[in-house]
Amino acid sequence: QGAISGVNKEIPVLQCHGDCDPLVPLVFGSLTVEKLKSMINPANVTFRTYSGMMHSSCIEEMMDVKQFIDKHLPPVD
């Protein structure tokens, strides 16, 4: 718990998961996001699922990651 205090409780988190992942079932992603919400500000935790995505990535996920980065990190010159 020591590392999760002060400013760390306000860190934004994006968690992505495919609903057809055969290696890490979606239920584990759901349990993880609930644990995260109990540890940090739940308003800062975003959980996205992707229909038909297995243990991989998809264009929609990469677009969500890009939007998350653009929103939360300063631009790089």
Higher per-residue confidence, 2 vs 41: 41
How many domains does the chain fold into? 1
pLDDT score, position 6: 78
Nearest alpha carbon to residue 14 among 52, 39, 45 = 45
**What pLDDT, in 10s, does the model give residues 31-70?**
999 999 999 999 999 999 999 999 999 999 999 999 999 9
Position 50 in a domain? yes
- Report helix, strand or coil for 49: strand
Q: Does some domain include residue 48?
A: yes
Residue 1 domain-assigned? no
Q: How far apart are CA 75 and CA 50, in angstroms?
A: 27
| pTM (two decimals) | 0.86
Asked if the structure places residue 7 within a domain, the reply is no
pLDDT of residue 3: 63
pLDDT at position 2 is: 56
- Per-residue pLDDT reduced to its tens digit, 5-28: 777 889 999 999 999 999 999 999
Which domain does 64 fall in, by range?
13-72
